Structure 1
Amino acid sequence: MEHRAFRLNGFVVLAALVVLGVIAGAVAARGAAGVAVAVVLAVVLVLALTGFTVINPNEARVVQFFGRYVGSVSDAGFQWVIPLTTKRRVTLRVRNFETSKLKVNDAAGNPVEIAAVVVYKVVDSGKATFAVDDYEEYVAIQSETAVRHLATTHPYDSDQSAGTSLRDGTEVAAELTAELRDRTELAGIDIIEARITHLAYAPEIAQAMLVRQQAAQVVAARTKIVEGAVGMVGLALDRLREQGLVELDEERKANMVSNLLVVLCGDKATQPIVNTGTLYS
């Protein structure tokens, strides 16, 4: 939608208007006919002055001639465009927006609090001005909508589903950015980055979820300890058999395995008991 409006260097046009003013003054001194010509030149001069505008870096001016969009000017400096036009300012700087903390249910039905920051910029000043009422408000609303949709399609923890969870930062950020780009394209907005900045269980279930997470970690740790202990017991029995140090029947092997597992899997230091009798008493 955006296209370049007709423009000229403002200083060149200003110099031409100064010359035109001098000519009008000289013509006016030549009698009644000269005054009429001078009035016409003065009117042209006044109309031409309405075409001047100053454009800052990373800024555009959307030019309208009696309601009709005639183009945009984004070249920084002192510029001159068609007279009698309105020139609306649109910033092209990179901007960021942070959503408020939203309370939604994740894919597993757990209430969570989530917020995100969105970095964006205007790439089409025409669409940003005429496609939506207020592009800043549009980005804010679409950002919150996209964050809500993201939270409802993914679980909080990866162990609740085989897919991506909300805690998988890189994947979630890429998905959120892609969705926001689709939502804001019609407004002439380019989403540079969108990333989750706050993620937590809602206060009413936070303590219960913390206990569940701690229990899961304890189970995982105990599982690892048992796997290591079983390996060590097997290694001990194999070494004893290979080196022929002692022959153990199945009952004594079971007793040895039991004792080693207690020692290796216990969370407290064990107190050894020395058998001073025979192997079987």
Structure 2
Amino acid sequence: MTDIRGATSALRQSSERAAHTMSGYGMLLLLLLPIAGVVGAISQIDRVADAVIVSTLLVSCFLFLFVIAGFYLLQPNQAVVITLFGDYRGTDRTSGLRWTWPWMIKKKVSVRSNNIISDRIKVNDLRGNPIEMAAQVVWRVTDTAQALFDVDDYKAFVMVQIEAAVRTIGSRYPYDDFEHQEVTLRGNHDQVGGELRAELIARLTVAGITVDECGFTHLAYAQEIAGAMLRRQQAQAVVAARTTLVEGAVGMVEMALALLSEKNVVELDDERRAAMVSNLMVVLCGERDTQPVVNAGSLYQ
């Protein structure tokens, strides 16, 4: 990204400025003059010399075409970039019927929000695992001069930079952390999405484009390791569940032995205590329901 910024900063950066244009509604009144001239010339065709009639008609037609060629229409959240012989003359953002000199070249640019969902791309995360990622980005043009003159095709530029930013963010973090001690792509959507937005804004500033919202629409392990990672997740879940179960069972055994000793229910030597602990652990940690066994003898028989 540093190389991109360094290369673009060496270019002559454009900057949007207001164009000197006029309201088209006032120019509509000016159209009445050539129309009146044509009507007057036709009405006086038998009273005035033919040369005067022809001159009046030519001047009226020229004035009509001159005025009509300068009209253009702008809808809300739409701008027009005006150039003269390749020189940037300004941008008009005033909606409605507008007018400028006919020899001005007018290029319309939408400043509305655009929504793009990028293609799924394969990225290696921080740990080198291949993952698939796709992002949804809401962007809009903020500087029409930069969008048209500083990049060749600003829409294609946005698509390329989205892919580059997704690769950068995807390689910055691991996909998942089973110990929940690191920032991950899967577990920290808001933080990672904020960094993706900041990365995109930094990359798209050269084109006069900002990003209003972005996030991941697809995030998963690549197919070649998806099965192995699923088995790993299942194993991690089983280990975590077993750890919690054993910790709870040990606490219950300690409590049972303490209560038996405290209330003098039974006197237990080391061997009987070990047998009771074994039985309680089997009962508490077993996956199946236990079946009671009545011992009619003693522990030593």
Contact 2:34 2:63 in 1 (8 A): no
Q: Deviations over 1:181-221 (max 9, x none)?
A: 11111211110111111111111111111111110000000
Q: Deviations over 1:91-130 (max 9, x none)?
A: 1221111111111211111111111111111122121111
Percent sequence identity over matched residues? 45
**Which of residues 56, 66, 87 in structure 1 aligns to 2:85?**
66
Which residue in 2 is equivalent to 1:218? 238
Q: Deviations over 1:212-252 (max 9, x none)?
A: 11100000000010011011111111211222211212222
SS at match of 2:169: helix
**Which of residues 102, 105, 111 in structure 1 aligns to 2:121?**
102
* 2:267 is the counterpart of 1:247: yes
**Which of residues 137, 140, 145 in structure 2 aligns to 1:126?**
145
Q: Give distance in 2, aligned partners of 1:69 and 1:40.
A: 31
Q: Which of 187-196 and 243-252 deviates more? A: 243-252
Which residue in 1 is equivalent to 2:70? 51
SS at match of 1:262: helix
SS at match of 2:171: helix
1:91 maps to a residue whose letter is S
Q: TM-score, normalised by structure 2?
A: 0.85
The alignment's C-alpha RMSD in Å is: 2.3
Q: Which of 219-228 and 182-191 deviates more? A: 182-191
Q: Give distance in 2, aligned partners of 1:18 and 1:6.
A: 24
Which residue in 1 is equivalent to 2:168? 149
1:95 maps to a residue whose letter is N
**Number of residue equivalences:** 281
Q: TM-score, normalised by structure 1?
A: 0.91
Q: Give distance in 2, aligned partners of 1:251 and 1:81.
A: 103
Contact 2:142 2:209 in 1 (8 A): yes
Contact 2:33 2:60 in 1 (8 A): no
**Which of residues 1, 13, 18 in structure 1 aligns to 2:32?**
18
2:258 maps to a residue whose letter is D
* 2:194 is the counterpart of 1:174: yes
**Unmatched runs of 5 consecutive residues or more in structure 1:** none
2:158 maps to a residue whose letter is V
SS at match of 2:31: helix
**Unmatched runs of 5 consecutive residues or more in structure 2:** 1-14
SS at match of 1:153: coil
